[in-house]
A and B are shown apart, each in its own frame.
Chain A
């Protein structure tokens, strides 16, 4: 009997807790709204504080800086910003679906101008060229203008993407080499580091996006001044990759680099984080990466002595550069367009922009904002190579216009080439992929 009683009370308790759980779920939305309404009325404004959503990929989100900016926005312009953080890999297809169905965030991060075609900017985004911040741009506004003449996004970084060899100065001193100026010298450096029993170049193939950097540098350097022209002939469908002997040469030299034992044996499973740690500690002499890796290493391993130089393939002394900036766009279907514009304008103001650039120390997008936290290595590069225009564009920017072909097919194919795969087969596979993705992206010249 006693047992029955216990059981009864227990089941009653369970049922009760379930019911309260249900009601809690059901009503939480309402109470929140009601609270927001109260706050608005106490602030003596007639309408309640507008709330906008800001969507940004996880790896591009600097929590502290954004939290600070959002707090300021709430106080100074009376706009409540809610952050949405989709995982990086799912971000693109999520945003595409949102745009197609009209259920959109009010502001979203894309890369300008590369992502315009991927997200069909003409159809889905609000033109912003009439905004005040356009006059303060640190670069030619053509650089972020879409083909139809409109600017669809506000940049919040300046042009800063450089890719090259990041090296450990101590290792170079130990084996007695200097920064190489020619490709022969570069290979000698690799050989000497190898003989000293260290890894010359640490490749991190598990994060497959890093594997593309060496082949891209090789290709760009091989083409040198013709790079831009050849890329646009690929985009227009005039030329296939198989028609470009320099591309084949680049892949085959990339393969040789691995065959010669100049990279770590576990290059297919090494991660990007490990690569930074290896070069910082001096286990590896170099990694080939972008300015973001320099920033990370300087922040995380403050006593590491590192430097950066352009990988001198084909004896070309220029930095490979990614021709895009981070930007924020407002979808046409947004219901809070005015508030969104107001927030963008607020973010573009020097004091707020500085908060962001402190966390992500790259070039500033606006003339009246300086990026104070820039580390000396990058500041040097920006003051020399950037000012003198000693830069070559990467093919990655062109590939972006084909949709996700780069991450879906190119990176894997580079890995296969690295492992000794047949290069002609690889090139044919890439051409077939360009054909398919080009047709899907409705590029002229691809059907």
Chain B
């Protein structure tokens, strides 16, 4: 501790990074690169050792597949709707729970709990929640509803149910980030604004919102990525059904992989990767341009 001389020489050799690098390469880099390569090949599980290059055939095939197009649409619907609703709910909750309430900490934990549950558990909970005559129907009954819609078995409502479960699960996490963001805003700004006569909504839109922008960036980006990659919720709740109505990219890739179309499913995942990258990078850039320095 006595010596405070700065050394430019690194006393550890790079060899220490070797185990991590090897694992990373074998488990991540090689499969990723191979995945890109195999998307341009005809490769089937029946002939695991014979794959032949077939150019863009896989991509032409998947874009002609109506169910793949439907899966892309569903994926975007899922990602966008769940992100928007999550952000709105989370901001409102965060604003409420940064007020001086006695039950503040308790409520925060309550709202955060769904985030720590696994997707499979959430799927199972909501399967019985949306069942005919299940809890959801019972709640609606209190408001005088007496229909017999099969929420998860109707192509018009199944997607909304799946989206709703994701909102329920993800809002707590987003709320926590917003709470942190709100607490980081120095009170001077609010006080100054108050002295200048800004009240209520005005203060929120001109002071709080711009300063909260970094939190928005984090929440929107991470939620969008998760939304585009959604898999477990859908698989448990509906299995992509009824018919193909709730098929998303994740489940459709899985289905094709299971059917043994390794080349084709690689091509699909490549499309998914490209979509995720362009969307999030574009959005991230846009959001960052809106951020202001506190």
What residues make up the interface of A, taking CB atoms closer than 8 Å to B? 89-90, 92-93, 96-97, 100-101, 120, 205-206, 208, 265-269, 403-405, 408, 412-413, 415-416, 419, 421, 429, 436-437, 440-442
Contacts of A442 in B (CB 8 A): 46
Interface pair B260/A205, CB less than 8 Å apart: no
Cβ contacts B235-277/A at 8 Å (1 or 0 each) = 0000111111000000000010111110000000000000000
Interface pair B259/A205, CB less than 8 Å apart: no
Whether, in the assembled complex, B217 has its beta carbon less than 8 Å from a beta carbon of chain A, the answer is no
Q: Which 8 A-B pairs have the closest CB atoms?
A: A268-B153, A416-B243, A100-B48, A269-B153, A268-B242, A266-B132, A266-B150, A415-B243
Q: Please report whether the interface of chain B is mostly helix, strand, loop or mixed according to DSSP.
A: loop
With A and B bound together, what is the CA distance between A441 and B259 in angstroms? 11
Interface pair A267/B153, CB less than 8 Å apart: yes
With A and B bound together, what is the CA distance between A413 and B242 in angstroms? 9
Task: Indicate whether A408 sits within 8 Å of B153 (C-beta atoms), given known contacts A100-B49, A208-B241, A269-B131.
Answer: no
Interface pair A268/B154, CB less than 8 Å apart: yes
CB closest residue in chain B, given A97? B45
Q: Separation in Å of the A155 CB from the closest CB of chain B?
A: 24
Whether, in the assembled complex, B148 has its beta carbon less than 8 Å from a beta carbon of chain A, the answer is yes
Task: Indicate whether A404 sits within 8 Å of B258 (C-beta atoms), given known contacts A205-B242, A419-B155, A419-B243.
Answer: yes
Q: Separation in Å of the B149 CB from the closest CB of chain A?
A: 9
Whether, in the assembled complex, B175 has its beta carbon less than 8 Å from a beta carbon of chain A, the answer is no
| B148 touches which of A90, A265, A440 (Cβ 8 Å) | A265
B window 96-122: CB within 8 A of A? none
Q: Separation in Å of the A101 CB from the closest CB of chain B?
A: 7
Contacts of B47 in A (CB 8 A): 100
Task: Indicate whether A404 sits within 8 Å of B260 (C-beta atoms), given known contacts A412-B243, A416-B243.
Answer: yes
Interface pair B260/A403, CB less than 8 Å apart: yes
With A and B bound together, what is the CA distance between A429 and B240 in angstroms? 17
Interface pair B45/A266, CB less than 8 Å apart: no
CB closest residue in chain A, given B158? A268
Interface pair A421/B260, CB less than 8 Å apart: no
Task: Indicate whether A93 sits within 8 Å of B153 (C-beta atoms), given known contacts A100-B49, A429-B66.
Answer: no
Between A and B, 29 residue pairs with Cβ closer than 8 Å are A92-B258, A96-B46, A96-B260, A97-B48, A100-B45, A100-B46, A100-B48, A120-B46, A205-B153, A205-B241, A205-B242, A206-B153, A208-B239, A267-B153, A268-B150, A268-B153, A268-B241, A269-B131, A269-B132, A269-B150, A403-B260, A405-B259, A408-B258, A412-B240, A412-B242, A415-B241, A415-B243, A429-B67, A441-B46
Contacts of B208 in A (CB 8 A): none
With A and B bound together, what is the CA distance between A266 and B157 in angstroms? 13
Contacts of B132 in A (CB 8 A): 265-266, 269
- Total B residues in contact with A, Cβ cutoff 8 Å: 29
Interface pair A416/B242, CB less than 8 Å apart: yes
Q: Please report whether the interface of chain A is mostly helix, strand, loop or mixed according to DSSP.
A: helix
Cβ contacts B122-149/A at 8 Å (1 or 0 each) = 0000000001100000000000000010
Whether, in the assembled complex, B44 has its beta carbon less than 8 Å from a beta carbon of chain A, the answer is yes
Contacts of A97 in B (CB 8 A): 45, 48
Task: Indicate whether A440 sits within 8 Å of B153 (C-beta atoms), given known contacts A265-B148, A415-B243, A416-B243.
Answer: no
Interface pair B242/A419, CB less than 8 Å apart: yes
Q: Separation in Å of the B236 CB from the closest CB of chain A?
A: 12
Whether, in the assembled complex, B211 has its beta carbon less than 8 Å from a beta carbon of chain A, the answer is no
Q: Separation in Å of the A116 CB from the closest CB of chain B?
A: 13
CB closest residue in chain A, given B242? A268
Interface pair B242/A415, CB less than 8 Å apart: yes
CB closest residue in chain A, given B130? A269
Contacts of A419 in B (CB 8 A): 154-155, 242-243
With A and B bound together, what is the CA distance between A89 and B244 in angstroms? 18
Whether, in the assembled complex, B152 has its beta carbon less than 8 Å from a beta carbon of chain A, the answer is yes
Interface pair A413/B243, CB less than 8 Å apart: yes
Q: Separation in Å of the A114 CB from the closest CB of chain B?
A: 16
Interface pair A93/B45, CB less than 8 Å apart: yes
Interface pair A93/B241, CB less than 8 Å apart: no
Interface pair A440/B261, CB less than 8 Å apart: yes
CB closest residue in chain A, given B65? A432
| B243 touches which of A101, A266, A421, A436 (Cβ 8 Å) | A421
Q: Separation in Å of the B47 CB from the closest CB of chain A?
A: 8
CB closest residue in chain B, given A101? B48
With A and B bound together, what is the CA distance between A412 and B242 in angstroms? 7
With A and B bound together, what is the CA distance between A266 and B153 in angstroms? 7
Contacts of B259 in A (CB 8 A): 403-405, 408, 437
CB closest residue in chain B, given A416? B243
Q: Separation in Å of the A122 CB from the closest CB of chain B?
A: 12
B window 207-248: CB within 8 A of A? 239-244
CB closest residue in chain B, given A441? B46
Contacts of A90 in B (CB 8 A): 258
With A and B bound together, what is the CA distance between A437 and B46 in angstroms? 12
CB closest residue in chain B, given A437? B259
Contacts of B153 in A (CB 8 A): 205-206, 266-269
With A and B bound together, what is the CA distance between A412 and B255 in angstroms? 12
Contacts of A96 in B (CB 8 A): 45-46, 260
Q: Separation in Å of the A418 CB from the closest CB of chain B?
A: 8
Contacts of B66 in A (CB 8 A): 429
With A and B bound together, what is the CA distance between A124 and B150 in angstroms? 46
Q: Separation in Å of the A95 CB from the closest CB of chain B?
A: 10
Contacts of B258 in A (CB 8 A): 89-90, 92-93, 404, 408
Contacts of A436 in B (CB 8 A): 61
Q: Separation in Å of the A403 CB from the closest CB of chain B?
A: 6
With A and B bound together, what is the CA distance between A151 and B244 in angstroms? 39
Q: Separation in Å of the B251 CB from the closest CB of chain A?
A: 12
CB closest residue in chain B, given A408? B259
Supply 17 further A-B pairs (C-beta < 8 A) apart from A268-B150, A268-B241: A90-B258, A93-B260, A96-B46, A97-B45, A100-B47, A101-B48, A120-B46, A208-B241, A265-B148, A265-B150, A267-B153, A268-B154, A269-B153, A403-B259, A413-B243, A415-B241, A415-B242
Q: Separation in Å of the B238 CB from the closest CB of chain A?
A: 9
Q: Separation in Å of the A372 CB from the closest CB of chain B?
A: 39
Contacts of B45 in A (CB 8 A): 93, 96-97, 100
Contacts of B257 in A (CB 8 A): 93
Contacts of A208 in B (CB 8 A): 239, 241
CB closest residue in chain A, given B67? A429
With A and B bound together, what is the CA distance between A89 and B241 in angstroms? 16
Interface pair B260/A416, CB less than 8 Å apart: no
B window 1-52: CB within 8 A of A? 44-49
Q: Separation in Å of the A102 CB from the closest CB of chain B?
A: 10
CB closest residue in chain B, given A421? B243
Contacts of B243 in A (CB 8 A): 412-413, 415-416, 419, 421
